[in-house]
Amino acid sequence: MKKQLSGDIKLLKAERMRALDGRAINEIGIPGAVLMEEAGRGAVRLLDAAGWLENLDDEILLFAGKGNNGGDAFVVARVLFLAGYFRIKVALLAPGAGLSGDAKINHDAFVNLGGEVLELLDEESWLKLKSTMPSSKLIVDGLLGTGLKSAVRGLYAEVIAAINEFSGPVLALDIPSGLDADSGLPLGDAVRATATATFAFGKPGLFVAPGCEYSGQVEIVDIGIPQNWAVEEKDSIQLLTADFCRKLLPETAVLGNIHKGSRGHLLTFAGSPGKSGAGLLAAGAALHCGCGLSSLALPQTLAGQLEGRNPALMLLPLPEAAPGLIRELSGAELKEICSGKTALAIGPGLGLNEAAAALVKTLLHESSLPVVLDADALTLLAENPDIIPKNRPQTILTPHPGEMARLLKCKTADIQNRRLAAAAELAADLGVYVVLKGAATVIAAPDGALSINSSGNSLLATAGSGDILTGIIGSFLAQGLLSLPAAQAGVFLHGMIADKLMAAGFRYGVTAVELERVLPETLSMLMAGDSE
């Protein structure tokens, strides 16, 4: 399990990162070589903390390109060399004489100390080095930086493939070579790093899928650029961490002398024949997340079958057209049902018939309550776009990639290849908040603001996990949070449950029931500042 990053972390796209580099050089007067020195030394500190090197005669292989990423590698090589590691080789994929700027300064410094540089200028030199790679204790990747925009080809592609066959630890400098810093997509192929030392600020591509699968454990290295500059960047992306999300939790979670009515009342519309458990999970999770009251509205027949399954829940039987299938309800009937509630959750196991579609449409058009839509409600929306009024306030959609593809009329693979852009597109089109679920869940606001979640793992890939998330977000809405903080805190807490279970040794067989059961303890941990 990855170690969680701490603090309020803003992620910057490559273009803005280069702009802030230039600003530090021109406005503050920090030479580029100093920034590079701080980057390399920070990477060495990460190596020391990881404990990958045990003896001074450990063989270390660094790969360097012709740009500043290669310059970072030469700093790392020099610092390690001066620390006493004498079996260091830097493989340079360019003529040393052709280097310029800060990269040349650090290349020359390493060479002048007596460091060994192997110039890989032809197939013969590469094959000779490749045969010796298995003897290395560590590989450092300084081939390609954040400026890469085209597919990796030729020798660079061969080297990346060989690095990915290496059995030992691999440290990437700034970003794994071949990975797009903004989208997280591998450009042809990319280094699969054990860890990444990224410099000054995090980059979105390190944290959004699939980039998070290439970056390993990410550490952000301070190189002397003021951290508040990232806050000033209007296009920065929020990384959800425990420190950030703790501050978003409802006040009712920490106040004393309150009663259940002060904690809000969530009304969940869910359940159809064969799918009644989805509503139980969502409405139950809402209570475990601090909601004072939670009601589950579902067809009368199903309500009778579920009576007593969760004694803390209130069941609202809905009139039926046939056993287990609701009939169409008027606006007046739904207004009465929603009376006294503070938020709605609609969709888990709801069904896809005409009555369900009419229910969703009437609720969204005639109720002003905050709402989270999931599962069948999203499928109905994809089939009937007029179900939801454009720019409806306090509205959250929580699609998985398949549902997102239906909403945007494209293929699921297209969504996975542009998760940030896809979430932003749907949020802007509908004027709502979008939670695009999956590895590194993405949250998009109607104004273009983006967040990427840093918690969670494969234990969430189980039936009913999304229903738990719906209940968590709905609970936060019912307790008074606005849509964006409710989505951010809900997504992080949901992932934190899985992290807690994995830290306890669970790897397989976890169901949504266990996720719900651990929710109160996990929420308490988040409140207390204990995220490990």
- Check residue 459 and report its DSSP letter: G
User: How many other C-beta atoms are found inside a 10 Å radius of the C-beta of residue 430?
Assistant: 20
The yes-or-no verdict on residue 159 having pLDDT over 70 is: yes
Residue 267 half-sphere exposure toward CB, CA atoms < 13 A: 20
pLDDT band for position 384 (cuts 50, 70, 90):
very high
End-to-end CA, the chain: 10
Tens digit of pLDDT for each residue in 104-151?
999 999 999 999 999 999 899 999 999 999 999 999 999 999 999 899
Could you give the residue range(s) of every CATH 3.40.1190.20 domain in the chain?
Answer: 246-527
What's the rounded Cα separation, in Å, for the pair 234 and 236? Answer: 6
Residues β-bridged to residue 296:
268, 315
pLDDT band for position 5 (cuts 50, 70, 90):
confident
* pLDDT over 70 percentage in the chain: 97
Three-class secondary structure of residue 62 per DSSP:
strand
* Predicted local distance difference test score (pLDDT) of residue 3: 74
Q: Which residue has the tokens 């990975």?
A: 179
DSSP string, 500-517: HHHHTT--S---HHHHHH
Q: Which residue has the tokens 């280069």?
A: 18
Domain 9-234 has CATH 3.90.1150.10: no
User: How many other C-beta atoms are found inside a 10 Å radius of the C-beta of residue 222?
Assistant: 12
Could you give the residue range(s) of every CATH 3.40.50.10260 domain in the chain?
Answer: 9-234
CA distances from 183 to 13, 150, 186 (A): 9, 13, 9
Domain 246-527 has CATH 3.40.1190.20: yes
State both tokens at 384: 């009937």
Dihedral class, residue 51 (left if φ above 0, else alpha if ψ from -120 to 50, else beta) = left
- Check residue 27 and report its DSSP letter: I
pLDDT band for position 387 (cuts 50, 70, 90):
very high
Three-class secondary structure of residue 134 per DSSP:
helix
pLDDT band for position 77 (cuts 50, 70, 90):
very high
